[in-house]
Structure 1
Amino acid sequence: MGPRFHITGIGDVERIEREMPLSERIAFTSTYDVLRWAADAYGDAPALSLIAGGTADEFPRTLGYQAFFKAVTRTANGLASLGLGRRDGVALLMPNLPETHLAIWGAEAVGIAAPINPLLGIDQIAEIAEAADARLIVAPGPMAGSDLWEKALATAERLPAITTVLKVGGGPVDMARHPKVRDFAEVLASSPDDAPVGWTEPQPDDVCAYFHTGGTTGTPKLARHLHRNQVYMGWVLARFVDMSPADCTLSGLPLFHVNAVHVSGLAPFMAGAHVVLASPAGYRNPAVIQNFWRLVERFRVTMFSTVPTVCTALMQVPVAGADLSSLRFAVVGAAPLPVEVIRNFEALTGIRILEGYGLTEGTCASAVNPAFGQPVAGSVGIRFPYQDMKAVIVDGDGAYLRDAAVDEIGVLCLKGPNAIGGYKQERFNKGLFVADGWVSTGDLARIDAQGRIFLAGRAKDLIIRGGHNIDPQSIEDVLHAHPAVALAGAVGRPDAYAGEIPIAYVTLKPGATVTADALKDWARERVSERPAAPAEVIILNEMPVTAIGKIFKPTLRYMATDRVYAGELATLAHEHGLTATVVTGQDGSHGTAAVVTLRRADGSAVPDVQRPALTEAVGHVLGRFPVSHRVAFG
């Protein structure tokens, strides 16, 4: 692992880079090599535990580092015995189980891991598995309350290239009816754990994983991760936040996502920390949320990775005297975190929230607020060592014009050992790179003189609901299929809990009549996954469009923010005899921002003496939402 870092700001990052090249800091050739080294370095120390029910009183199932590595080797040998090759994919339709980690790292050793969101429909699952060249699919066996086994069988039936369905636990299966099925435990039991059999170890430039991105619905883009990408990611995460064998991380995010795989997986494994899986359903298990602070106390948790919606839910759970003294910090990413939520969460728990930024195209993460530095409100941190980030100015077609100046908003780009070389499907690579190999994140940001990154909206149209990516086209296609709809545009509406929730604006065909509620019901019954169901459909007389007739999404997002903020301020305005007008647009420093103008109901100006208190009151109401605001007085 090398020396531990103590990073407080961009100066420390630059010092680390000057001290020695990255090649002298990282000697690992693959993720399998990392786990072998960890087994030798940490021996029988706990590597991975499962709390099956998500409560604080149950006895965990635990694997030490040596046992974990041996199980990964058995998994790799078992997959090889089933015909998996270096370029073949393993589709993983799994909840958070120790077997999921075995399957991920075993698949990466022999071939290519392809974790899939198990909440997707069969059509999307099959499309991703086919795009990943899957030869095998791994899923839990049949059990009450889960349809994953049925989804796995249906996918294997649709795709002749899938030769084996590996059943993890669950009830019995009629093998005569399902000749592709093999039992995961039996395959491992018959496989050696002391050396590779039938395969050679991967090299740094071998593909190790495909993670689907660009929205969890619609046509998937498969980000191609190499072993060197993931090895760097584990190393830099562990070093940047100073992980060590003394740490314990509670893992509640789903293992089909890069955050859980790296922030709560490879990075702590590289540091010798203890990873505790908080039930197969993770944070989606209500028991985990209700028992969260007791779980922290029981396992002496030092850190956890989460998303804004979970932070909001945890603030509703009383700490109730639980000992949180072990906690160092929480890392939060996936969606913007309102300043008010940070302030309230830190006041409740006494720990720091480290906001970070990352994307699947950057393997996982690219920036985070330093664990030892002074946090700056609104910043997602500073870049990692050996990885560059910059904002660039592009033209209307997304072509590079120039680098942005300090504090000038541009498209955020990254380049370095974590940046992918492209998607598996070549047709998606157009627009991914901006000037000389820089990966365009599609997000707008500014970078200040201290290297701190401030997000300022998204150049791309993804709706991010509590860290869950939703392709707006999946909603728009459903609405366009309605006989009364002429145009449909789906956007994210600001939400205090989820960050954004999907809504849609539509215009109707001439002479057509239909209610907004009927269109909402139509869409909710037909979208491919529940999180994408629009919370509201609004009928417009005219759709905002560009000069070439394309729907102008920024205007729709501004309109959605105006509606939400005006509604939230209605009670406050009434209590003070005021009117509140909200106009959202682009701000030179903050990107998308709302201007709230307060006037007396009779149209006269608000007295100066009242203005500070009213500004603070508006901040308490709107500070829970991700879109920034400022208050003006008419």
Structure 2
Amino acid sequence: MNLSALLEESAAAYAERTAVVLGEQRLTYADLDARANQVANLLVRHGIRPGDKVALSCPNIPQFTSIYFGILKAGGAVVPLNVLLKAREVAYHLADSDAKAYFAFEGTPELPIGSEAYGGFLEADGCTDFFLITATPGGSPAEGEQRHFQTLVADQPSTFETIDRDDEDTAVILYTSGTTGHPKGAELRHRNMRDNALVGRKTFRADPARPDTYLCVLPLFHSFGQTVVQNTALAFGGTLVLQPRFDPKSALELLAKERITFFAGVPTMFWGLLGALAGAADTAGITESLRMAVSGGSALPTEVHKDFKERFGVTILEGYGLSETSPVAAFSVYGEEPRVGSIGVPIPGVSMKLIDDNWNEIPDDPGTIGEIAISGHNVMKGYYKRPDATAEAVRDGWFRTGDLARKDQDGFYYIVDRAKDMIIRGGYNVYPREIEEVLMTHPAVSLVAVVGVPHSSHGEEIKAFVVREPGAETTEDDLLAWGKEQFASYKYPRVVEFVGTLPMTSTGKILKRELV
């Protein structure tokens, strides 16, 4: 079954129900399905064939969803890209994924998504079509090899015979950084993505007869927002209220105005919502509707749990997953008080266990720490074009996560440490190796180690310890400015400390735990 059936079946059953909301714009399921059909027709007429990869750089606006499902309908695989990527990074992702076509939103002067995307497109030889999405139908004209998306798609038929795909075919490639410093594409099958969305019936009590209204503040290019919010909403006839960029005050207004029943976010978003409440602000309009609050990405502080329930009347439920697991693997039990610090239990159709370095399952004793391994309908096909990396991560259907955890007597899991060296800044995963490799290309940098340091609102901030080349006089401001040009805004170091040496083991391995 093609993953696009999530939209098509709801469009058939609830044609006039509101599917997507952005400001005053409201699309019914019939509207959304027709727009996705137009995208599919556009792609087929530009030579896209079943199995071809199509990239998408777009914030949370209706075009993301219509293009996403249009790619699927045409038999293609969606490659969602972070809208913060610079041209150099875009070029890498397009080339690595073998993308044949690329849709990108023009962005704003402050975030020129389109220009960075087009710059990357020009460097990727295998990508032949660039479609520019403008803020308005009569927006900026496309130049050169660019094509104006709205103009072209408007001429396409609104009906399309969806191309059949096998359950094992790739539906989405989600890029995730690795310890090698090179982002890897996790290949997710149609069944991976479909089943992970449909499990919302049991996990979130999703019910088409009582459809939820979801506030989508999580970026749709990320697996959390894509599956838990977009795909689950559409699978169960819900309404997707989009916020292109999270702003706590505006989010509070949308929660009340649109009578949101389902809110999902990373811990910093919940922290932001609480901070945006002015004194004794009235939350009655929100609490009357809100039934579900879901958190993931990193551990939620106890105080946020407590304060959110006091102000909004809803207990935040935590879950756990990775891009490689579509993403949800474990979730708190709906209807039960959460066990603070726990990621819950495996979702239906998924198994989890704790293993040692050699893949051996550790004794099932409460409190014993091991690495989480996951199997089930959600585990990826593998890393695109990386058989060795796939073999290291997946064995006999089990995916090893790199996350250390313990399990209590009732089977609830508790993360005790993250994948080695990984930094989580504002909900985004950042692997130091990629940052280090690029910083090492600066002529003034001799050696560098990147670590995460505590930060009050982002959770962690990125700090670089730098050993200068002899005689170099580069300043902290110089290196920060240079880094800002090289990386997406969530990646570049905000703090640089120059040091004479870095602590090392006898074998020359940098001891990052000694860097603070």
TM-score, shorter chain, exceeding 0.5: yes
Which residue identity lines up with residue 80 of structure 1 in the other structure?
A: V
- Does the 8 A contact of 2:95 with 2:125 survive in 1? no
1:129 alignment partner, SS class: helix
1:450 alignment partner, SS class: coil
| Equivalence for 2:63 | 99
- Gaps of at least 5 residues in structure 2 are none
Which residue identity lines up with residue 477 of structure 1 in the other structure?
A: E
- The reply to whether residue 206 of structure 1 matches residue 169 of structure 2 is yes
The CA distance in 2 between the partners of 1:308 and 1:524, in whole Å, is 29
TM-aligned CA distance change 1:414 to 1:142, over 3 Å = closer
Structure 1 residue 308: Cα displacement: 1.4
Which residue identity lines up with residue 408 of structure 2 in the other structure?
A: D
| Equivalence for 1:589 | none
- Does the 8 A contact of 2:10 with 2:234 survive in 1? yes
Which residue identity lines up with residue 472 of structure 1 in the other structure?
A: P
Residue 333 of structure 2 is aligned with which of 348, 367, 370?
Answer: 370
| Equivalence for 2:463 | 503
The CA distance in 1 between the partners of 2:178 and 2:427, in whole Å, is 11
Structure 1 residue 209: Cα displacement: 1.1
- The reply to whether residue 224 of structure 1 matches residue 187 of structure 2 is yes
CA deviation digits over 1:58-95, x for unaligned, max 9? xx211112222222222212211111111211111111
Q: Percent identity over the alignment? A: 30
- The reply to whether residue 241 of structure 1 matches residue 204 of structure 2 is yes
1:8-47 matches, within 5 Å, as 29-47=1-19
TM-aligned CA distance change 1:541 to 1:158, over 3 Å = closer
Residue 303 of structure 2 is aligned with which of 319, 337, 340?
Answer: 340
Aligned residues between the structures: 504
| Equivalence for 2:507 | 548
Structure 1 residue 213: Cα displacement: 0.6
The CA distance in 2 between the partners of 1:485 and 1:492, in whole Å, is 19
The CA distance in 2 between the partners of 1:496 and 1:166, in whole Å, is 39
TM-aligned CA distance change 1:274 to 1:502, over 3 Å = same
1:38-437 matches, within 5 Å, as 38-51=10-23, 60-110=24-74, 111-141=76-106, 144-170=109-135, 172=139, 177-178=143-144, 180-196=145-161, 200-214=163-177, 218-244=181-207, 245-278=210-243, 280=244, 282-283=245-246, 288-318=247-277, 320-322=281-283, 323-324=285-286, 325-394=288-357, 399-406=358-365, 407-426=367-386, 429=389, 432-433=392-393, 435-437=395-397
Which residue identity lines up with residue 133 of structure 1 in the other structure?
A: D
Structure 1 residue 146: Cα displacement: 4.2
Moved more, 445-454 or 478-487: 478-487
2:230 alignment partner, SS class: helix
- Does the 8 A contact of 1:42 with 1:272 survive in 2? yes
- The reply to whether residue 440 of structure 1 matches residue 405 of structure 2 is no
Which residue identity lines up with residue 365 of structure 1 in the other structure?
A: V
TM-aligned CA distance change 1:272 to 1:229, over 3 Å = same
2:383 alignment partner, SS class: coil
TM-aligned CA distance change 1:189 to 1:214, over 3 Å = same
TM-aligned CA distance change 1:330 to 1:37, over 3 Å = same
The CA distance in 1 between the partners of 2:369 and 2:220, in whole Å, is 33
Structure 1 residue 508: Cα displacement: 6.2
- Does the 8 A contact of 1:109 with 1:208 survive in 2? no
- Does the 8 A contact of 1:217 with 1:529 survive in 2? no
2:275 alignment partner, SS class: coil
The CA distance in 2 between the partners of 1:157 and 1:537, in whole Å, is 33
- Does the 8 A contact of 1:124 with 1:217 survive in 2? no
When normalised by structure 2's length, the TM-score is: 0.90
TM-aligned CA distance change 1:160 to 1:480, over 3 Å = closer
TM-aligned CA distance change 1:188 to 1:404, over 3 Å = farther
- Does the 8 A contact of 2:171 with 2:189 survive in 1? yes
Moved more, 150-159 or 248-257: 150-159
- Does the 8 A contact of 2:407 with 2:413 survive in 1? yes
Structure 1 residue 357: Cα displacement: 0.8
TM-aligned CA distance change 1:202 to 1:500, over 3 Å = same
The CA distance in 2 between the partners of 1:88 and 1:486, in whole Å, is 42
